[in-house]
Amino acid sequence: MIIFKTLRWKNFLSTGNKWSELDFQAAKTTLVVGHNGAGKSTMLDALSFALFGKAHRNISKPQLVNSINNKNAEVHIEFSVLGSEFKVIRGIKPSKFEIWRGETMINQSSHAKEYQKILEQNILKLNHKSFHQIVVLGSSSFIPFMQLSGQNRRDVIEDLLDINVFSKMNNILKEKTSLLKDQIKDATHTIEVNKTKLESQRKYIRDIKAINSTQREEKLQLISDIQDEIKTAQSKNGVLSTNVESELPSATDQSKKSTTKISELERFKAKFNADAKKIVKDVQFFESNSSCPTCTQDINEETKNEHIVEGKQKSRELQVSIDQAEEAIFSTTKKLLDATEVINTCREWQSEIHANNQSINQFQSAVNRVQSELDKLINSGDLDLAEADLDVLKLAADNTTELKLNLNEQYNYNQVMSQMLKDTGIKTKIVKQYLPVINKLSNQYLQILDFFVSFNLDEHFQETIRSRFRDSFSYDSFSEGEKQRIDLALLFTWRQIAKMKNSVATNLLILDETFDSSLDHEGVDNLMKIIYTLGEDTNVFVISHKGEILEGKFKRKIEISKEKNFSVLKNVS
């Protein structure tokens, strides 16, 4: 069990250079009050930052530093796990991240992410998401379950029950199955190649047994024909290479120069336009005003006319420059297009050269193969050796066929496992096992909240709500206060399920503005009943800006206020 003890912070968000300290174990129940903007949620952001390196709310790390002091933001959290004492220190400007076990600092990894994994996986056994399900519950991080779509409800419960691992397993299985498909495809291809080789070898043996001059002449003629094809392709490549070498460098150079010149002309044009706009604005000013708006001094007609005439003259000159720039851009663009066309043509030539080279390689392979066959024919061949090679090819073909059978068998197994790992497989079975517990806990909390209805979720996470008279209702048919009771019952249910499933237990529960929405006084009293049933080992903090309806219900009260633009935490009682 994680026992959170103290939290200290300074220069963090609205807090100044003076340390703010919070003792989590000072009382079983603590009310935290303050006006909007006083900094009540800062304690949540500090707690989340200390444990996970990011705020509770959607605030970027640089924004966590107090904007007035703008340095030395630091947060300390002390807690114990299974009797071992831990302390985490984080800072911004300068950056700091230390994990202490007793008086010894745990060796820091070279990467902050790895050091964070040590904290979450080896010490806390708690990640940022489960932190919001188990420790911090409230309006800023919690969307009522009943307001989610069916798929999002499934995502919440799968995450809560930690069964999304099956989705990850399914993704891994898909990758393995895809690899199997490739292997089966390769094996099929190899089998076909082996068939071709076997047929070639059998044909070779037949050729050895029936060597004649006609066969040799045919192969010599085939070699000659293929070599002619090679010479033709090489000749084409020579012409194309010469064309590329003569055209591509100049076209590339022209393209670069044209691009640079267009950029320069565009900058000049933009500057001329900006100057023209300023001159037009000045002319309009003198045409529309007879006195200076700044010093209120009159502007005589001669001065006005002088400025207007001069401005129009400059405007005409700038327009001429703009037109000249546009003409230059047009002509340079044409050069760029011409160069681009030449470059594209060169690329087509290069592609043709590449294709010819591939054909030449294929022709050469064919020549080598036919020459090898011819050599064997001329030398009459070794029948015993050829038949031994045939046996080797048969064995390789048999092995490949057996490999394909094994791969197909594994592929079929994977298909079965994939069906099990889908939403309708293992996950549905696990959810069905937990649904009775979820429904039982939900109804228990609803009864504590004095809301006597029968609430049930089915395996598709759709609700059935019935009154004591067995009338059916939907969530939306209830009042806001009744909806709030359902939301709170589910909220505490998720906390209990998360603890049961993940074995994550902690002394700390923080309710952020949970009391500030639609609960009436009776609803508040019923919610307090749930809080009182959580046990002596739970320290509950309630953050609210409506302290009047909660007055006298908590053993301790903390008030957060602003003093000289900094948030200050005070123990009131």
For 455-511, the three-class secondary structure string (H helix, E strand, C coil) is EEECCCCCEEEECCCCCEECHHHCCHHHHHHHHHHHHHHHHHHHHHHHCCCECEEEE
For residue 54, CA distances in Å to 57, 61, 68, 510 come to 8, 7, 21, 17
Q: Which residue has the tokens 């903007």?
A: 37
First to last CA, the chain: 28
pLDDT of residue 212: 53
- Using left for φ > 0, alpha for ψ between -120 and 50, and beta otherwise, residue 261 falls in alpha
CB 414 within 8 A of CB 176: yes
Pair of tokens at residue 528 = 């307090």
Crossing angle (nearest 10°) for helices 213-288 and 301-378: 170
Within 10 angstroms of residue 214's Cβ, the number of other Cβ atoms is 8
User: What is the spatial distance between Cα 445 and Cα 485, in angstroms, rounded to a whole number?
Assistant: 9
In three-state secondary structure terms, 411 is helix
User: By C-alpha distance, which of 505, 510, 509 is closest to 124?
Assistant: 505
pLDDT of residue 452: 87
pLDDT of residue 125: 80
DSSP 8-state secondary structure symbol assigned to residue 515: G
pLDDT of residue 159: 66
Average pLDDT for runs of 10 along the chain of length 573: 93 94 93 87 92 90 93 96 94 94 86 86 81 68 70 73 75 88 92 92 78 70 89 91 89 90 89 87 80 73 82 86 88 91 91 91 89 71 76 92 92 86 78 88 87 87 80 81 81 77 76 68 75 82 80 88 90 71
pLDDT of residue 110: 63
Q: Where are the alpha helices (DSSP H) in 119-212?
A: 128-134, 150-160, 165-209
User: What is the spatial distance between Cα 15 and Cα 164, in angstroms, rounded to a whole number?
Assistant: 39
pLDDT of residue 494: 78
- Using left for φ > 0, alpha for ψ between -120 and 50, and beta otherwise, residue 162 falls in left
